[in-house]
C-alpha cells in the first residue's frame, strides 16, 4: 500500500511539473523534449516508481531551462567594452547599465529576433573588424542598437541602413548614396565604413571606446564640447542628453545578453538563426539612359521581384541604376542571365534584337499628347507616399522628377510631376 501511495504521489508531482514546464503554448522544442521524457511501463509498482522518478528528474531539468523571473538575473561580476573595464562598483554606473539590461531582458521577443539575425549579419561585421586596424569586435552590438540588424531602417533624421549613417558621413567613408544606389543598406560595404568610422573615433578619443561610441550617437563636436565645458574625459562622468547617456549602456546590455543567451533563459542554438543566403555578386554599369526596371530585371534573371529587392536593399528606385557602377547580388547560377541586362534597353529587350522582334514604339503605349508630363496638385492631407501609390510610381521617382530632397516638405496647392 505504501508503494502505491508513493507511486501516486510521484504521478501527481510529475503532472504538476509537466504543466509548469510544458504549457499548452510551449514551443516545438519543449514539446519534443516532453515527448522524449521517460514513460512509466505497465509492469509492477517498483518499475513504475523508477520510471516516475526518472520522469521527475527529466521534468525538473526542463523546468530549470525555463526563464526565471527577471529579477533573478544579474550582471556578471566583470563587464568590459572593447577590453576596457566598466566600473560596476560605482552605484551610478551600475544603475544606468542595469536599467538597460533589465529593459532588454523584458523585451525577450526582440532579443530572440536580434539573436537570429546575428547569424546572418555578424560574420560580415567581424570580417570588417579583422581587416581594420585598431577596430574592436564589440562594435557588432552597436549595429544591433542602431538598426536591429535591418538594412532598410531610416530614422526621423534620415540616417539609414545597418549603421544608420547620415548621407554626408557615408559619402566621406566611400559609400554611394545617390543615383538609385544607397550602399548604407548593403551589409559588407556599410560594415566596412561603419567599423572604420568607429576606429577613427576611438583614435580621436585616445582609444577610449565608450567615448567613441557616444560620439557615434551624439556627434563628435557635441561630445567634445561637453567634455571641455564639464572638464571631464570619462563618458560615465559626463552629463549628456538622455539618448546619449543611455547609448553606451544599451550597447553593453546587448553584448551581455547576446553572449550569454542560455544563462539568461533563452533557448536558442546557433542553427536557429537566419543563415546568410548564398549569392553571386556582379559589378555592373548600364549606359546612361538605358535603365531597366526591376520587374523586367527580375524576369530576365529568373527570380521573383521580392527576391531581387531583398538581396539588393541598396536599390532605391524602381529601375536599375543607369550611367553609374553598382553591385548586383543574384542567386547562385543566375549571374550569366544578369549580365545580359547590360545589353538591354529600358523595355528589357536586347538592343540588337531584329526590328520585327523589338517591342512596339512608345507611341503604342500612349498617344503623342499623353507623352507630356502628368501632374498632381497637392491636396490637404496628401503625402508623397500616398501620391506615389495613387499614380503607381515610387517616392524616389517623385523626388527626382520634382527635385525634392528628403527634407523638402510638400505644400497644399503645389503642382507635382507624377509621370514623365
Under 8 Å CB-to-CB from 249, ≥6 apart: which residues? 96, 97, 99, 100, 101
Cell numbers placing 363 = 507611341
Rg (CA), the chain: 29
Give pLDDT tens digits along the chain (420 positions): 555 455 555 555 555 554 554 444 445 555 555 555 555 455 678 888 888 888 887 777 766 666 778 889 999 999 999 999 999 999 999 999 999 999 999 999 999 999 999 999 999 999 999 999 999 999 999 999 999 999 999 999 999 999 999 999 999 999 999 878 999 999 999 999 999 999 999 999 999 999 999 999 999 999 999 999 999 999 999 999 999 999 999 999 999 999 999 999 999 887 899 999 999 999 998 888 777 999 999 999 999 999 999 999 999 999 999 888 899 999 999 999 999 887 654 444 554 444 444 444 433 333 333 345 678 888 776 777 777 766 767 777 788 888 887 767 788 778 888 876
Q: In whole angstroms, what is the distance from residue 48 CA to residue 67 CA?
A: 31
Q: Facing residues of 84 across strands?
A: 81
Tell me the CA end-to-end span of the chain in Å, nearest whole number: 92
**DSSP 8-state code for residue 280:** E
Pinpoint the alpha helices (H) of 259-370.
Answer: 294-301, 305-311, 335-339
Judged by DSSP in three states, 230 sits in helix
- Give every CB contact of residue 254 below 8 A, 6+ residues apart in sequence: 104, 114, 141, 144, 145
Q: Which of 199, 107, 193 lies closest to 145 in space, CA to CA? A: 107
User: For 408, which DSSP code?
Assistant: P
User: What element of type H or E holds 221?
Assistant: helix 220-230
Beta-bridge partner residues of 374: 419
Q: Round to whole Å and give the CA distance between 256 and 105.
A: 10
DSSP state of 364: G
- Dihedral (Cα; 100, 62, 17, 104), 10-degree rounding: 10
Place of cell 565608450: 210
Residue bearing cell 574625459: 233
Amino acid at each position: 500500500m505504501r508503494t502505491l501511495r508513493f507511486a501516486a504521489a510521484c504521478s501527481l508531482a510529475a503532472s504538476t511539473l509537466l504543466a509548469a514546464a510544458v504549457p499548452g503554448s510551449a514551443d516545438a522544442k519543449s514539446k519534443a523534449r516532453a515527448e522524449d521524457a521517460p514513460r512509466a511501463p505497465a509492469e509492477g509498482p517498483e518499475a513504475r516508481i523508477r520510471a516516475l522518478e526518472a520522469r521527475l528528474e527529466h521534468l525538473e531539468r526542463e523546468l530549470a531551462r525555463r526563464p526565471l523571473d527577471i529579477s533573478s538575473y544579474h550582471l556578471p561580476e566583470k563587464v568590459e567594452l572593447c577590453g576596457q573595464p566598466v566600473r560596476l562598483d560605482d552605484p551610478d554606473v551600475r544603475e544606468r547599465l542595469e536599467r538597460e539590461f533589465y529593459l532588454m531582458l523584458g523585451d525577450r521577443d526582440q532579443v530572440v529576433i536580434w539573436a537570429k539575425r546575428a547569424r546572418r549579419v555578424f560574420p560580415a561585421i567581424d570580417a570588417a573588424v579583422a581587416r581594420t586596424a585598431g577596430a574592436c569586435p564589440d562594435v557588432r552590438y552597436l549595429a544591433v542598437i542602431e538598426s536591429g540588424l535591418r538594412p532598410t531602417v531610416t530614422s526621423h533624421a534620415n540616417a539609414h541602413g545597418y549603421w544608420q549613417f547620415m548621407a554626408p558621413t557615408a559619402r566621406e567613408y566611400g559609400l554611394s548614396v545617390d543615383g538609385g544606389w544607397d550602399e548604407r543598406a548593403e551589409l559588407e560595404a556599410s560594415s566596412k565604413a561603419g567599423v572604420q568610422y568607429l576606429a577613427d573615433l576611438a583614435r580621436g578619443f585616445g582609444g577610449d571606446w565608450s567615448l567613441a561610441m557616444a560620439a557615434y550617437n551624439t556627434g563628435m563636436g557635441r561630445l567634445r564640447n561637453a567634455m571641455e565645458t564639464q572638464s571631464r574625459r570619462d563618458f560615465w562622468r559626463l552629463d549628456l542628453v538622455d539618448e546619449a547617456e543611455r547609448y553606451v549602456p544599451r550597447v553593453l546590455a546587448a553584448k551581455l545578453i547576446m553572449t550569454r543567451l542560455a544563462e539568461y533563459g533563452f533557448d536558442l542554438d546557433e542553427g536557429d538563426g537566419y543563415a546568410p543566403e548564398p549569392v553571386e555578386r556582379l559589378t555592373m554599369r548600364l549606359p546612361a539612359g538605358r535603365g531597366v526596371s526591376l520587374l523586367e530585371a527580375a524576369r530576365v534573371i529568373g527570380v521573383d521581384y521580392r527576391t531581387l529587392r531583398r538581396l539588393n536593399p541598396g536599390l532605391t528606385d524602381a529601375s536599375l541604376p543607369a550611367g553609374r557602377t553598382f553591385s548586383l547580388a543574384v542567386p547562385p547560377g543566375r549571374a550569366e542571365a544578369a549580365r545580359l541586362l547590360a545589353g538591354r534597353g529600358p523595355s528589357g529587350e536586347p538592343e540588337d534584337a531584329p526590328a520585327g522582334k523589338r517591342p512596339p514604339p512608345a507611341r503604342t503605349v500612349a498617344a503623342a499628347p499623353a507623352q507630356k508630363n502628368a501632374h498632381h496638385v497637392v491636396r490637404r492631407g496628401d503625402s508623397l507616399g500616398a501620391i506615389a501609390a495613387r499614380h503607381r510610381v515610387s517616392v524616389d521617382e517623385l523626388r527626382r522628377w520634382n527635385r525634392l530632397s528628403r527634407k523638402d516638405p510638400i505644400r497644399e496647392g503645389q503642382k507635382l510631376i507624377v509621370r514623365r
